[in-house]
Amino acid sequence: MFVSIFRFLIFFSFLSLVSSQNCSFDLQSFTLRNFTLLGDSYLRNGVVGLTRDLQVPSSSSGSLIYNNPISFFDPETKKTASFSTRFAFSVTNINPSSFGDGLAFFLSPDNQTLGSPGGFLGLVNSSQLTKNKFVAVEFDTKQDLHFNDPDDNHVGLDIDSLISIKTANLRLAGVDLKSRNLISCWIDYKSQEKKLMVFLSYYSLKPKKPILIVDIDLSDYIKEFMYVGFAASTEGSTELHSIENWSFRTYGFGPVRPPHNVSDNTVIVKPPIIQDSGGHKHHNKSFGLGFGIGGPAFFCAVLVAFGWISVKKWRGLNTEKNLKAELVTGPRQFSYKELRSATRGFHSSRIIGNGAFGTVYKAFFMESSSIAAVKRSKHSHESKTEFGAELSIIACLRHKNLVQLQGWCIEKGELLLVYDYMPNGSLDKVLYQESEHGNPLKWPYRYNIAVGLASVLTYLHQECEQQVIHRDIKASNIMLDASYNARLGDFGLARLMDHDKSPVSTLTAGTMGYLAPEYLQYGKATEKTDVFSYGVVILEVACGRRPIEGEGTGHEMVNLVDWVWRLYSEGRIIDAADKRLNEDFKEEEMKKLLLVGLSCANPDSTERPCMRRVFQILNNEAEPIFVPKVKPTLTFSTSIPFNIDDIFSDSEGSEAPEHELEIRID
């Protein structure tokens, strides 16, 4: 037993040593197996084109990104990796007078890096110049004075900005980027020397002298894990940017040698040498008496412990068996050890969110070099109920606007779900927290979020084999991927039901401000209660205001739906638009979104549109629904939960005392 424990401790120590490791790949041609193409990039005959291949001038932007994140920094040793890359590229043009803008090799913490066309080289978003973080070597074919370009044929080092830290004129090396020749490039960064060097040549032999040398410590800019790739852009040009081969490697983390193998054969335990000083018989008697008394007690203790462990294990296996039976397809079962290692022991530095279900951690899987989000439940009966609900529902679903479930784990009393990682977090964070720092979400993204959410709710309500009622649609449950596409998540409160059957009847669950009035009254979740919540969310998106928030010197609580409806009745609905947008939106789209939000948040559920109709309206495929100038008033009397904690709880519970209460919705 002690040998096994000793072996385990050595093995655990070895695991802690391999947290960071060197990476290497060498590709003479490209396939889609290991790379992601974004924007206008494409793959043709093993060669990647980064910008559009058109016979007429166009504006274009595209990226090629290696799928797996690469370890560049070891937080335990505080060591940054060195790296070396070689690639061959060409810049061609059917119209030599129509040139620009160039391409770049980059390192980024984001695996969805795609910037704007034009002088932004596909690295930077024109409306959010400081948002994207990167270390890039640019190959610029157009002089852009806005970015202090020295000429139209240079290489430069860029860090989080297209104003280069240092540039070099390529004509000094006899290289013309627009020559149509295949150009070989080598980029070396030596961490210990804090030096980056760039070599270019028309030949495959690496030159002796670099064209660009920059003395810089990249450890200030390189994260623990980074993505590597290429980006390019054009504006009113027929310039083409192609990558034909690519090799890359990191080094400097040093090979990790495991400790000497430990086995039962190699561990020799020498018996102690006992000196016989005449008390040998007395010692044996004492030992025999002690063993006679302590032995049975020890045996009973071991028996009790074994029974307790067996019962606990049986319960865990039974729960796991029940959950497995609910799964229809797809998600992988992770081991607890995998998820603990990927989150560094569920370290607080890896926390990216908290919710009713529990805590969400950012996870790095070294074997697959991938990133995911791990939801760790609270230890409660409700959490197990929600865990089973979320797992059995979302495992069956496939839609581009859903947060995709990768897998699950139930071990050691833990309930864990593994999802795709969403780099831009939740909608409420982007709408409110980032806006407070002067970066309001741009209108095209907002409108696209409304359309994406309508699309996925149409799928859940009308296109699944069984209708899915989400019951907790709110801004914090809508995640945003790297391109700010909406991804609906958190199915802990969702319920399955057959189409055309009675609505789900439960105690009211959800979040204040998003709950439909009839749901508060009857406790019956239907697709129309989801529609109401959707209406509140898109009013948030359009107005940049929370569903219920304080206003004025007295901080009087104002309901968002009431506020927008009042402006609408006064003929001033466009005044509800988020002031932080500075009127940078299409007025027709803004008005449409506000009216759709009001129609969905109509107190009368029978007047609310279905989500398919909403999706068609937003896509200009159907006429908008008539919205009355005055908000409808509903008066009813019924029995509802009197306790506010029961009304707005985030999970199911036991029945609460009921009282007769009149509710007036106006």
DSSP states of 26-77 as a string?
EESS--TTSEEEEET-EEETTEEE-S---SS-EEEEEEEEESS-EE-EETTT
Cα(592)–Cα(614) distance, integer angstroms: 11
> What does the pLDDT read at residue 266?
33
The pair of three-digit structure tokens given for residue 305, joined into one six-digit string: 């412990």
User: Does residue 184 contact residue 86 with C-beta atoms inside 8 Å?
Assistant: yes
Cα(532)–Cα(610) distance, integer angstroms: 10
Q: Is 166 annotated as a binding residue?
A: no
Longest dimension (CA), the chain: 109
Segment 237-252, tens digit of pLDDT: 889 999 999 999 998 8
> What does the pLDDT read at residue 469?
85
Q: Which is catalytic among the residues 472, 481, 578, 646?
A: 472
User: Does residue 432 contact residue 580 with C-beta atoms inside 8 Å?
Assistant: no
φ/ψ of residue 348, rounded to 5: -60, -25
The pair of three-digit structure tokens given for residue 555, joined into one six-digit string: 């901080």
Instruction: Kindly report the pTM of this predicted structure.
Output: 0.51
Q: For tokens 């509802």, what's the residue?
A: 640
More reliable by pLDDT, 126 or 143: 143
Instruction: Give the distance from CA 362 to its chain's centroid.
Output: 9
Cα(150)–Cα(137) distance, integer angstroms: 15
Give CA torsion, residues 447, 452, 458, 460, to 10 deg.
Answer: -140
Segment 575-628, tens digit of pLDDT: 999 999 999 999 999 999 999 999 999 999 899 999 999 999 999 988 888 999
Q: How confident is the model at residue 129 (pLDDT cuts 50, 70, 90)?
A: confident
> What does the pLDDT read at residue 627?
93
> What does the pLDDT read at residue 591?
96
φ/ψ of residue 444, rounded to 5: -55, -40
> What does the pLDDT read at residue 384?
61
Q: State the amino acid at position 196 in one-letter form.
A: L
What residues contact residue 26 under an 8 Å CB cut-off, 6+ apart? 247
Cα(570)–Cα(611) distance, integer angstroms: 28
Segment 499-516, tens digit of pLDDT: 444 444 344 445 668 888
Give, in order, the Cα–Cα distances in Å from 166 to each of 209, 212, 222, 404, 495: 17, 8, 18, 42, 58
Residue environment code for 616-655, b if the CB has 16+ CB neighbours within 10 A, otherwise e: bbbeeeeeebebeeebeebeeeeebbeeeebbbbbbeeee
Instruction: Kindly report each contact of residues 28-37 with a partner whose C-beta sits within 8 Å and lies 24 or more positions away, as own/partner.
Output: 28/245, 29/244, 29/245, 30/64, 30/243, 30/246, 34/66, 34/67, 34/68, 35/64, 35/65, 35/66, 35/67, 35/229, 36/63, 36/64, 36/65, 36/67, 36/111, 37/62, 37/63, 37/64
Domains of the chain: 22-251 (2.60.120.200), 332-420 (3.30.200.20), 427-665 (1.10.510.10)
Instruction: Give the distance from CA 566 to its chain's centroid.
Output: 37
User: Does residue 230 contact residue 86 with C-beta atoms inside 8 Å?
Assistant: no
* 220 tagged catalytic: no
Q: State the amino acid at position 475 in one-letter form.
A: A
The pair of three-digit structure tokens given for residue 4, joined into one six-digit string: 């096994």
Cα(239)–Cα(318) distance, integer angstroms: 62
Segment 443-497, tens digit of pLDDT: 999 999 999 999 999 988 888 777 888 888 999 889 998 888 999 987 655 554 4
Query: Mean pLDDT over all residues of the chain?
Result: 78
Segment 325-373, tens digit of pLDDT: 444 345 788 999 999 999 999 988 888 887 656 788 999 988 777 889 9
Q: How confident is the model at residue 385 (pLDDT cuts 50, 70, 90)?
A: low
Give, in order, the Cα–Cα distances in Å from 2 to each of 6, 262, 263, 455: 6, 12, 12, 59
The pair of three-digit structure tokens given for residue 476, joined into one six-digit string: 């914090």
